[in-house]
Amino acid sequence: MENYQLPIQNYPWNCLSLRPNSIEMSGQLKEVRIRIGSVKTTQQITKAMKMVSAAKLRRATDAIVQMRPYAEKLQEMLSNIISSSEGDLGGDLSKEREIKKVLFIVVTSDRGLCGAFNTNVFKAAKAKMDSHYAAQYAAGNITVLPIGKKGMEAFERIGMNMENDFWNTFSDLSFENVKKAAEYARQAYLDNKYDKIEVVYSKFKNAATQEFICEDHLPIPRIENDGEAVQSDFLFEPSKEVLIEELMPKILNTQVYKAVLDSNASEHGARMTAMDKATENAEELLKDLKLTYNRARQAAITTELTEIVSGASALEG
């Protein structure tokens, strides 16, 4: 009797697409391909965000570099004059009083994806509250005036008292808009609504480095050397009193504006750095995924070849 061999194309070993192991391997490869596509898309987004932040950082850096020496010199002059004067030069804005209620002007950003920038500003403000104003905090006598959406959201989550009229200042950043917040704070201090005002912000150093600062705003801080008031060597024309009365509000507005510009530059620097790190991490992840995909694909091909050879050998036997 003549031996009859079943054609390989009709033999079950050739039904590769129907085998459970093959189906499972195909599903794994598809999942890895989808992940590779997702990571590539994310990497394109992080690259674009890095470039946008770099462009914005250059403008923000120019603004704060030009503003900072002017604002710091004005603050130094004002503190020097107040410290060296005898009497009530500066009026209520320079008088220290018992601290019962405190206002924190906290400058954050409107958007996230900038690393730990907003979190660090929040932590700096909270640390100052806990270390210097624990009694006022426990009594509910601390209020936050946020400039920036992220700060507003963070302090709302912990139930802080809020002044929410100026949180969207960054939507149209200008001296006039920042001045509104500064003037509100100054008037609230004059009305004895608050006994102390602090400004919390991030001082820009470079794209990768920011310094988180809690700065006394009101009453105007005095400069002392070894416990003694410094002596001013300024010449005034017209009188010192007239100049101080005219310049003091403008100087205080400038200090808040400087803090906002510092934070704006710090935000863009932090975002550029974060997006650069994210792009690098995406590249590393892509290498790992491609290696995983190639290994799985090679394993699938080897398995299929082995099964075909085994099936052919079985038919020959």
pLDDT digits (tens, 9 = 90+) for 184-202: 999 999 999 999 999 999 9
Kindly name the residue from 78, 114, 121, 300 that is annotated as catalytic: 114
pLDDT digits (tens, 9 = 90+) for 265-313: 999 999 999 999 999 999 999 999 988 888 888 877 787 778 777 777 7
pLDDT digits (tens, 9 = 90+) for 79-102: 777 776 655 565 678 888 899 999
Residue 162 counted as domain residue: yes
Q: Count of domains in the chain?
A: 1
Residue 91 counted as domain residue: yes
Residue 195 counted as domain residue: yes
For residue 178, what are the domain limits? 47-273
Q: Are 307 and 16 a contacting pair, CB within 8 Å?
A: yes
Q: Are 289 and 39 a contacting pair, CB within 8 Å?
A: yes
Q: Which residues lie closer than 8 Å to 67 by C-beta, 6 or more apart? A: 257, 258, 261
Residue 278 counted as domain residue: no
Residue 186 counted as domain residue: yes
Residue 114 counted as domain residue: yes
Lowest mean pLDDT among 4-18, 99-113, 128-142, 175-189: 4-18
Q: What is the pTM of this model?
A: 0.80
Residue 25 counted as domain residue: no
- Residue 17: pLDDT over 50: no
Confidence band, pLDDT 50/70/90 cuts, at residue 13: very low
Residue 36 counted as domain residue: no
pLDDT of residue 294: 87
Neighbouring-strand partners of residue 103: 143, 197
**Nearest-CA neighbor of 197 among 212, 209, 210, 187?**
187
Q: Report the CATH number that the domain containing residue 196 is assigned in CATH.
A: 3.40.1380.10
Q: Which residues lie closer than 8 Å to 125 by C-beta, 6 or more apart? A: 104, 106, 144, 200, 214
CB atoms within 10 A of CB 120: 17
Place of tokens 């009101």: 218
pLDDT digits (tens, 9 = 90+) for 37-95: 999 999 999 999 999 999 999 999 999 999 988 888 888 877 777 776 655 565 678 88
> Is residue 15 flagged as an active site residue?
no
